[in-house]
Amino acid sequence: MNVVMLVLRLVHIVAGIFWGGAALSMELFIRPSIDATGEVGQQFSRHLTNTIRIHIFMMGAAMATVLPGIVLYWIDSDGFTSAWLKSGAGIGFGIGAVFALFAVVFGAIFGRSNARLGKIFAQIRERPTPEQLTQLQALRKRMNIVSPFHVVTMILAMIFMATARYFTF
């Protein structure tokens, strides 16, 4: 294995572990805890979004996963031209890549919504205005719709990536 392939695989896998682990932790543990703890949860959420800027790290991890993945797929398929594309591994990695791209899109929608939520919360002094309340409700609704799709597509991408080399079609 040459050094370029090794570095690409390491970046792809480590970033994917961070991205997937963080997304699953957010969906399964952190978001429900924020929702259950009222004002303290909202303070934590504001800190996570406005100070730590978790959405920037998540998108960075997503890009550090997907971009090397595309390059690896391109190398393995000899520029998207070889018979490898029709092999079990080629098809498996391709399906995993499609799920990963959907996860990026859903994650970006969630992250942007979360960032907007944080900005609105930062503007609220005592009580939200009716306009702010409407915006908050719309953003939460969007996040509640998108989040399960993000997590499911990410899990499916991980499953296909982890097992693709064993597929026989």
Among 82, 71, 101, 93, residue whose Cα is nearest residue 167: 93
Q: For 61-116, write each residue's pLDDT tens digit.
A: 999 999 999 999 999 999 998 899 999 999 999 999 999 999 999 999 998 998 89
Give, in order, the Cα–Cα distances in Å from 21 to each of 17, 32, 61, 65, 167: 6, 16, 11, 13, 25
Please write the tens of the pLDDT for every residue from 127-166. 888 899 999 899 989 999 999 999 999 999 999 999 999 9
Structure tokens at 31: 């978001």
Cα–Cα distances in angstroms (integers) from residue 111 to residues 48, 115, 119, in the given order: 12, 6, 12
Tokens standing for 12?
A: 């792809």
* Domain residue ranges in the chain: 3-166
Going 150 to 155 to 157 to 158, the CA torsion angle's sign is positive
What is Dmax (Cα atoms) for the chain?
Answer: 63
**pLDDT > 70? residue 1:** no
